[in-house]
Amino acid sequence: MTTTDIGTSLAQVGLDEQADLLRIATAGSVDDGKSTLIGRLLFDSKAIFEDQLASVEATSEKRGDEYTDLALLTDGLRSEREQGITIDVAYRYFSTPRRKFIIADTPGHVQYTRNMVTGASTADVAIILIDARKGVLEQTRRHSYLSSLLGIPNLVVCVNKMDLVDYDEAVFNSIRADFDKFADNLSVGQIDFVPISALKGDNVVTKVSDIPGSADAMPWYEGPTMLDLLETIRVAHSEADGEFRFPVQYVIRPQRSDGLDHRSFAGTIAGGAVSEGDEIVVLPKGQRSAVTKIWAPGGREVATARAGEAVTIAIADEIDIVRGEMLAHADAQPKRGTELSATVCWFADDSELTAGRNYLLKQTTRDTRSVVTSLDYRLDVNTLATDSAAETLALNEIGRVTLRTQSPLMYDKYGTNRATGAFILVDEVTGDTVAAGMIEGAGETESGVVWHAGAVSSGDRAALLGSDGARRTIWLTGLSGSGKSSIATELEKALLSAGHNAYVLDGDNLRHGLNSDLGFSEADRTENIRRTAEVAALLTDAGVVAICALISPLESQRELARQAHDRLGVEFTEVFVDTPISECEKRDPKGMYAKARAGEIQNFTGVSAPYEAPQNPDLHITPEVGTAAEAAERIIARLFSDDTSTVI
């Protein structure tokens, strides 16, 4: 069942999804009485529908049970009854006058860890169930570790079946002490303990002192019932309290009477809040604007909207924004990058995670190709021990990996924001979801792959080779036919004549070798640009002026190229060859525009694929510049002078 389904179901039972809603994950083994506990919660809080109760009571009478077997209310899946285990994630929702609840009844068995990761990943509270006769088991630790790993802020530890240990306070205290021993490794906000009997209802909804037959059973416990706790727990929604994050789900382009399309952007706020007038930044482009309008579902205009709300946002400037991009407050942006360190749980039962494999990565509304560059360790969720020798992750196993993505992600650490800090990996061939991941941070600093400084530092090399402004990459971007290659050639000639070692990296040429495996999809172009930028940065660091001539159509791709240079501490000069498409089509030396117009070439930049003109290039070559040689001459003159103007 998806979140949307839950939302629909809530509406069916008159629950407003956005009201004070507490998401609960129940984890515990089949025998701990989990299903009975949920049945008791639903039954005692009067959330059971009459028809369901009648059939359950009839079944219990038929079996001669002393108490109605409330587990039957929640073991809805036939196979649960047959196997006596919870196989999938069953969602139950109920409300009391004080709060609304969704319970994700997640599996207890280790072979269904992936279901727990799925069902519990948005929970506010995890109910950890312990059979008073058995005490803390390995699965108790596993459920608690997983709840902590999933960032669930609150744990309610229910010591169940107290009636079977004569409500012995010493048993309860011993179990609590055992739990506290390993709880130090948990990163949860609050842990509460409640002694209960789900079968008899003691302390679930009704205080044990108010239950006939148990009234004086636990005089030593004066704490709240489980329901009291669930109704009053203050959930630290890190997302709601965090920074504004708005992954764009889709772009709305209503035609106005003036024929202009004033776009607005729809999605669900993944963090923080946004108000009309807020200054925002469009990521990863980096362009800024301001929020002009916010509409709630149904078209109601609102001044402010918060995490979890589905809204449509309009901004002041006409910026080309597409699905998968993100709006954030300009002064509180998410991290951006292509190297991630993440904890993943492997879901596939017919394959294993191995380093070097490519996967489609889906994070918020963004999809990008990715590769697992290393499996850093496998985690034992029963003990939290790590195995750094592990080379694979099999079904339900959890480990720490380093990933590289083709397009930059805008993310937060999972512990900061479970929406922007989470992703799934999808098999590119089958389309199956093979893993769920939680971002821990930027990869290069945590993946164990460290940069080995050479014998000569970059600065020393500059001194040795002389760095009179030439040690930089000159990155020429522009439409096909704009003149990039011609200018690059002239630049190389002029720099070499002036005694500077220079080398052209031309997109066309590199596609015959280094990038021969790449096409012209956005992901492939991003990879093309990433690889070329990494090579250019190394060349420049070695003292060669790298002159790159690639269309590099998107701001985010050019940002990726700049980041590769920033990381090495070498100069990156973005030169926008601003030749209008009309002129490029007139030139059309390879006849590609004509073919693109005729539909013989797909995804052709400027015709059937976007080109985002640089907003703030370091140098802007206008059409008036004249020949390629003149352009090259002016670029060099500008780079070797103190003149900081950008237009040439």
Ligand X SMILES: Nc1ncnc2c1ncn2[C@@H]1O[C@H](COP(=O)(O)OS(=O)(=O)O)[C@@H](OP(=O)(O)O)[C@H]1O
Q: Tell me the C-alpha distance between 285 and 413, whole Å.
A: 21
* Residue 481 is assigned to a ligand binding site: yes
Instruction: Out of 33, 201, 507, 614, name the contact with ligand X by CB under 6 A.
Output: 507
Instruction: Out of 549, 575, 632, 639, name the contact with ligand ADP by CB under 6 A.
Output: 549
Shortest Å distance, C-beta 493 to ligand ADP: 14
520 binds ligand X (CB under 6 A): yes
What contacts 24+ positions apart, CB below 8 Å, involve 527-533? 527/369, 527/406, 529/557, 529/558, 529/560, 529/561, 530/338, 530/406, 530/557, 530/560, 530/561, 530/564, 532/505, 532/507, 532/561, 533/473, 533/475, 533/560, 533/561, 533/562, 533/564, 533/565
Q: Which is nearer to ligand X, 504 or 639 (CB)?
A: 504
CA nearest to 334, candidates 442, 425, 189: 442
Shortest Å distance, C-beta 322 to ligand ADP: 24
Among 258-266, 475-483, 511-519, 639-647, the segment contacting ligand ADP (CB under 6 A):
475-483
484 binds ligand ADP (CB under 6 A): yes
Q: Which is nearer to ligand ADP, 16 or 508 (CB)?
A: 508
628 binds ligand ADP (CB under 6 A): yes
Tokens matching residue 268 = 């669900």
587 binds ligand ADP (CB under 6 A): yes
CB-based contacts of 441: which residues, under 8 Å, 6+ apart? 335, 340, 341, 413
Tokens matching residue 374 = 């290393």
485 binds ligand X (CB under 6 A): yes
Instruction: Out of 118, 480, 526, 552, name the contact with ligand ADP by CB under 6 A.
Output: 480
Q: Which is nearer to ligand X, 246 or 604 (CB)?
A: 604
Residues binding ligand X: number (CB under 6 A):
21
482 binds ligand ADP (CB under 6 A): yes
What is the pattern of x (binds ligand X, CB under 6 A) and - over residues 564-603? Answer: --------------------------x-x--------x-x
Decide if 270 contacts 239 (C-beta within 8 A): yes
CA nearest to 153, candidates 189, 191, 182, 102: 189
Q: Tell me the C-alpha distance between 371 and 359, whole Å.
A: 6
Shortest Å distance, C-beta 611 to ligand ADP: 11
Tokens matching residue 429 = 């061939």
Torsions phi, psi for 410 (to 5 deg): -105, 110
Q: Which is nearer to ligand ADP, 486 or 521 (CB)?
A: 486
Q: Tell me the C-alpha distance between 176 and 158, whole Å.
A: 10
Torsions phi, psi for 333 (to 5 deg): -90, 155
Q: Tell me the C-alpha distance between 162 and 168, whole Å.
A: 7
Q: Which is nearer to ligand X, 61 or 508 (CB)?
A: 508
CB-based contacts of 547: which residues, under 8 Å, 6+ apart? 473, 474, 476, 488, 491, 492, 495, 502, 503, 504, 505
Instruction: Out of 121, 370, 563, 605, name the contact with ligand X by CB under 6 A.
Output: 605
481 binds ligand ADP (CB under 6 A): yes
Q: Judging by DSSP bridges, how do beta strands 392-393 and 353-354 pair with one another?
A: antiparallel
- Select the binding partner of residue 628 from ligand X, ligand ADP, none (C-beta < 5 to 8 A, by kind): ligand ADP
Instruction: Out of 201, 441, 478, 553, name the contact with ligand ADP by CB under 6 A.
Output: 478
H helical segments located in 512-606: 522-541, 555-568, 581-587, 592-597
* Residue 29 is assigned to a ligand binding site: yes
Shortest Å distance, C-beta 628 to ligand X: 13
Shortest Å distance, C-beta 481 to ligand X: 5
Decide if 617 contacts 646 (C-beta within 8 A): yes
Other C-beta atoms closer than 10 Å to the C-beta of 184 total 6
Q: Tell me the C-alpha distance between 430 and 425, whole Å.
A: 12
CB-neighbour burial class of residue 335 (10 A; exposed 0-12, middle 13-18, buried 19+): middle
Q: 273 - beta bridge partners?
A: 306
Instruction: Out of 141, 207, 366, 525, name the contact with ligand X by CB under 6 A.
Output: 525
- Select the binding partner of residue 486 from ligand X, ligand ADP, none (C-beta < 5 to 8 A, by kind): ligand ADP
Q: Which is nearer to ligand ADP, 3 or 509 (CB)?
A: 509
* Residue 399 is assigned to a ligand binding site: no
Among residues 257, 552, 582, 641, which one is catalytic?
A: 552
Instruction: Out of 74, 364, 396, 485, name the contact with ligand ADP by CB under 6 A.
Output: 485
Decide if 80 contacts 36 (C-beta within 8 A): no
Instruction: Out of 108, 337, 408, 483, name the contact with ligand ADP by CB under 6 A.
Output: 483
552 is catalytic: yes
Instruction: Out of 213, 627, 637, 643, name the contact with ligand ADP by CB under 6 A.
Output: 627
Question: Which residues sit at the interface with ligand ADP, rule CB under 6 A?
Answer: 478, 480-486, 549, 587, 589, 627-628
Question: Which residues sit at the interface with ligand X, rule CB under 6 A?
Answer: 480-481, 485, 507-508, 511, 520, 525, 528-529, 550-553, 590, 592, 601, 603-605, 609
Write out the catalytic residue numbers: 552
Binding-site annotation, residues for GTP: 28-35, 105-109, 160-163
Binding-site annotation, residues for ATP: 478-485
